[in-house]
Amino acid sequence: MIALDNGDKVRGDAAAADIVDYTLHGLVGTTITQLADGQLPGAIGDLYTAGEAGIAVTSIILVNTDVIARVVNLYLTPSGGTERRLIPKDMSLGAGHALITDGIRVSVYDASGNLLTVAVAAAHKDTHDPIDGSDKLDTAAPVKVGAANAIGSSHSFARADHVHEREHARYTNSEAVAAVKADAGLPVVTITFIIDGGGSVITTGEKGHLRIPFACTINRVTMLADQSGSIVVDIWKDTYANFPPTNADSITAAAPPTISGAQKSEDSTLSGWTTAISAGDILAFNVDSCTTIERVTISLKVTKT
């Protein structure tokens, strides 16, 4: 029960005015009395004020008459002290539900008069142990990691230490190579060749060779120089058996990689180029002309085929 001194107040509010009924019952001396009744205001207001010492509130009843849940609050305001809550802050009371409190406990009943209870769950994880629990969780052997996504149908849980077998771990070397070749999503790569004049303007002539270990198609050529100038570099291609390539083996037609009065250039049109490279082909880089530039990087963006 809630003991009241002279001037102490029971106060309350609801999310909407004149929706939630309230009644207060208690003892005045030794007489059981209905202390107050009405409907909760929309803003905090007085429900009952004790006119003498020794008043005991034995129950406060709230009934939500609305068709939707409403938030309610109850407070005890001593005449010479600080206002305190009697129920949890902004407690939600369902449509047609009733709340009864004696100041110690709170009970809530649904619209059919059934008592609503909250159960506190005890520690029970061990009962679900998949090995020796009394209420074991279903677990199953891990499946292999497949090559494609698929929605599972099992209702089992996975244990924390389960291990999936990698499907590709069973590939033979030849199978692995075949899988790589068949992968259309392989990233593009860059073939790079650097020509350095050693502190002087690059001279004309053949500057070196690269053997390409994979089949590919050229998509773009990029030239980056150390300074602004002009340079033309032809690219020749031939098989390892026919090494070295010659000018007759040019793959750039009438559009060799060129920087003209600039420090960089890029060409993805590759007009007239022979863009296909076979695995093992040799590329030669020949400077046709150069002014000012002392160092240049030639990058071929290619896609493996």
pLDDT in tens, 30-81: 899 999 999 999 999 999 999 998 899 999 999 999 999 999 999 999 998 8
Using only C-alpha atoms, the chain has a radius of gyration, in whole angstroms, of: 43
Six token digits for residue 165: 């077998």
Give the integer Cα–Cα distance in Å for 242 and 261.
Answer: 36
Six token digits for residue 15: 């999310």
Q: What residue ranges do the domains of the chain occupy?
A: 2-116, 189-304
Predicted local confidence at residue 138, as pLDDT: 73
Predicted local confidence at residue 122, as pLDDT: 47
pLDDT digits (tens, 9 = 90+) for 252-275: 999 999 999 999 999 999 999 999
Give the integer Cα–Cα distance in Å for 233 and 203.
Answer: 11
Predicted local confidence at residue 134, as pLDDT: 64
**pLDDT tens by residue, the chain, 305 residues:** 899 999 999 999 999 999 999 999 999 988 999 999 999 999 999 999 999 988 999 999 999 999 999 999 999 999 988 899 999 999 999 999 999 999 888 999 999 999 985 444 445 566 667 777 666 777 777 776 666 677 777 767 777 677 766 654 455 555 555 555 555 556 789 999 999 999 999 999 999 999 999 999 999 999 999 999 999 999 999 999 999 999 999 999 999 999 999 999 999 999 999 999 999 999 999 999 999 999 999 999 999 98
Is residue 58 helix, strand or coil? strand
Give the integer Cα–Cα distance in Å for 93 and 71.
Answer: 6
Predicted local confidence at residue 77, as pLDDT: 94
Give the integer Cα–Cα distance in Å for 118 and 96.
Answer: 19
Six token digits for residue 21: 């009924």
CB 24 within 8 A of CB 99: no
Give the integer Cα–Cα distance in Å for 113 and 163.
Answer: 53
Predicted local confidence at residue 167, as pLDDT: 54
Closest among 5, 9, 6 to 84, alpha carbons compared: 9
C-alpha atoms less than 13 angstroms from C-alpha of 53 in its C-beta half-sphere: 0
Predicted local confidence at residue 123, as pLDDT: 53
Task: Enumerate the β-bridge partners of residue 301.
Answer: 190, 220
Closest among 65, 58, 70 to 100, alpha carbons compared: 58
Predicted local confidence at residue 246, as pLDDT: 96
Helices (H), 40-187: 173-182
Give the integer Cα–Cα distance in Å for 305 and 263.
Answer: 32
Predicted local confidence at residue 121, as pLDDT: 42
Q: Is the pTM value of this prediction over 0.95?
A: no
Predicted local confidence at residue 230, as pLDDT: 97
CATH class of 189-304: mainly beta
Predicted local confidence at residue 165, as pLDDT: 67
C-alpha atoms less than 13 angstroms from C-alpha of 232 in its C-beta half-sphere: 7
Predicted local confidence at residue 155, as pLDDT: 67
